[in-house]
Amino acid sequence: MERSLPMTEPMPGLPDRVTIYEVGPRDGLQNEKTAVPVEVKAEFVRRLLGAGLETVELTSFVPRRWVPQLGDAEELLDLLGGVGRGRHRPVLVPNEKGLDRALERGVSSVAIFGSATETFARRNLNRSVEESVEMFAPVVTRALDAGAWVRAYVSMCFGDPWEGPVPVQQVVDACCRLMDLGCDQLSIGDTIGVGTPGHVLRLLDALEDAGIGTESTAVHFHDTYGQALANTTAALRRGVRVVDASTGGLGGCPYAKSATGNLATEDLVWALDGLGIEHGVDLDALVATSAWMAEQLGRPAPSRVVRALSG
């Protein structure tokens, strides 16, 4: 029988359409303890695209010793061929060497990954916040000169496991530094999942006051305390139109052990369906993809919607 739920009940003040920025192949798999064969990763990407996801972040061109799970970036791009290229197939690049590797594979969409806190910047990039900006400056310039689209991630925007609550102005300053380099889009990350809706609104308002509008801002919530969907709804009501999510709720951060999985793409799609918001994704196909990936990983998908629809 064809699935008929959820019922559609729109809420005022929400957008007609949302772009889902799928991070499963990169952020979702980077913290897995079991090695995932590159052929499985390529099939994962193809299934995600087949489910209607337009933007899929594929991998990261980081040294294998930093993130062993993503040490096969070149092989993955080679396996994907044409479907792994273009504006909607971004890859993460940590520095100019990573950018060189990405450009050699014909990549035209890249992301850099900064921090709002000094401790995480040191642990993740072995640099201060200021030094990381200096490192990213030539990366962004060269990427833009090559005609690439550039996204800036800023992590630890709501709380840091070492420094505690992060002042809003400190986050705004970090975001402005990266966006001033010329990046096309900003993704604000709740890396350890401690944000709440009021905090989200306050940060978005402060970014707007600093000249970074919601038209160029995406949100990236982890679901450690079950707040990811509530925070997403708050962001949508403030004008955000791009939401990061990971199929199956996979994810974590190898440099912040308290970071659990991302907002599950299926949970986001279910919520958007209920709100009557267009997104272009086939939920049943996505659930089937998550169930398949869970088999590859040997454990159930964290997503509640996946468990409900595939149980």
Considering just the CA atoms, what is the radius of gyration of the chain in Å? 18
Q: Is 175 one of the annotated active-site residues of the chain?
A: no
Catalytic, out of 157, 175, 183, 253:
253
Burial of 123 (0-12, 13-18, 19+ CB in 10 A): middle
* Residue appearing with tokens 């772009």: 19
Peptide bond before residue 6 is cis, with ω within 30 degrees of 0: yes
The pairing of beta strand 159-160 with beta strand 91-92: unpaired
Question: In the chain, how long is the greatest CA-to-CA distance?
Answer: 57
The rounded distance, in Å, linking the Cα atoms of 311 and 306 is 8
Element (H, E) at 14: none
Hey, what amino acid is at 255?
Y
Active site amino acids: 253
